[in-house]
Structure 1
């Protein structure tokens, strides 16, 4: 039986655009309060003004270690507790490995892997104390299949798939559910690095989905009764051939 999300408090990273913004809007529509975490202070100011009082801005740069470390304490200074942590922020590198550079690789791995692990590490004591909570991560179909045109991105998402499944086993005895949503290609700025030919074909044959469709899957998972954990949801465009 579905449970209401009314009155729940969520924190979402990368909340100013794409899947993060769609998830924010979906949770607000379900009656939740959402702490919108993003490094873009101006975007957060505009969005929280538009979305209303249950949308709360939290300016955090996940690639800046002190800012990342301060995220959870600063969130908990603004709200009484956190029921849901959705680690959604990420970046993308496509193309052959020798076409990128070490600094870009470091940036992507730090955001897609290290920041997620640090955010989850920071929220665990709070959720353990409350003996309840939901931790969700945006993964990717690339975390389940070796995508030849995105070896660094795919590698980062395989790492997150392993991390989510190990943390699910560690935390379930504390009443904390852990899962991931793994979309196929989503219409967003992240696709700017896709090989032009791949992007053209995807647009032409309908192999892309909207951020809102990923958010709908997240709402489904979060609203299950506490005796049910949706471990992983792979959400693909029907015409995406992987």
Structure 2
């Protein structure tokens, strides 16, 4: 039997658009309160006004060391506790390695890997003290296959796959579940850096999924009984050839 999320408190990073916004809407529909974490304060203001009082804005720049460090304490000042942390924020680099630059690589690895690890590190003492919690991360099918047109992105997601598997083992005895959802190509701004030919083929073949379909998978995992951990879900467009 599925567990209810009614009354739970979730924090979602990258919540102002794409998968993060879809996850926020799905969690709200399940009765949860959602702290929407994003750097875009204008978007947060508009979205929380639209979504209602159970949507709470948290302006955080995950690429800023001090802002990222303050995220969990500031959330706890607003809501008291965190039942669910969904580390969703990320960015993308496609193309050959020599087509990008070092600064762009640093930015992507800091957001896709370092920020996730630091956010999880920050919430662990709180969840341990309550002996319960759920930590979820948006990974990618690129974290399970070596995608030749996105070597930096794919490497960052392989790192997250390893991180999730190790943290699940570290935290399970403390009542904390850890898992990831690994989508294939999702209709979002991140695909703007895809090679044009690959994006065209994906659109023509129907090889893209909507952010709401990733959110559906997240809700399924979160509503399993506490004796069940869904560690990893790969959610692919049916026509995606990889």
Q: Aligned pair 1:24/2:24, yes or no?
A: yes
Q: Which residue of 1 aligns with 2:109?
A: 109
Q: Aligned pair 1:175/2:200, yes or no?
A: no
Residue 132 of structure 1, CA deviation: 0.1
- Show CA shifts across 1:110-161 (max 9, x none): 0000000000000000000000000000000000000000000000000000
Q: Which residue of 1 aligns with 2:89?
A: 89
Q: Which residue of 1 aligns with 2:6?
A: 6
CA distance in 2, matches of 1:64, 1:192: 24
Q: Which residue of 2 aligns with 1:136?
A: 136
CA distance in 1, matches of 2:179, 2:199: 28
Q: Which residue of 2 aligns with 1:100?
A: 100
Unaligned regions of 5+ residues in structure 2, if any? none
Q: Per the alignment, in what secondary structure is the counterpart of residue 3 of structure 1?
A: coil
**How high is the TM-score relative to the length of structure 2?**
1.00
- Show CA shifts across 1:78-121 (max 9, x none): 00200000000000000000000000000000000000000000
Q: Which residue of 2 aligns with 1:36?
A: 36
Q: Which residue of 1 aligns with 2:124?
A: 124
CA distance in 1, matches of 2:183, 2:229: 18
Residue 39 of structure 1, CA deviation: 0.1
CA distance in 2, matches of 1:29, 1:131: 26
Q: Which residue of 1 aligns with 2:209?
A: 209
Residue 56 of structure 1, CA deviation: 0.1
Q: Which residue of 1 aligns with 2:54?
A: 54
Q: Which residue of 2 aligns with 1:162?
A: 162
Q: Per the alignment, in what secondary structure is the counterpart of residue 93 of structure 2?
A: coil
CA distance in 1, matches of 2:239, 2:95: 22
- Show CA shifts across 1:36-74 (max 9, x none): 000000000000000000000000000000000000000
Q: Per the alignment, in what secondary structure is the counterpart of residue 214 of structure 1?
A: helix
Q: Which residue of 1 aligns with 2:225?
A: 225
Q: Say what the alpha-carbon RMSD is for the aligned residues.
A: 0.2
CA distance in 2, matches of 1:75, 1:238: 38
Q: Which residue of 1 aligns with 2:192?
A: 192
User: Number of matched residues?
Assistant: 242
Q: Per the alignment, in what secondary structure is the counterpart of residue 162 of structure 1?
A: helix
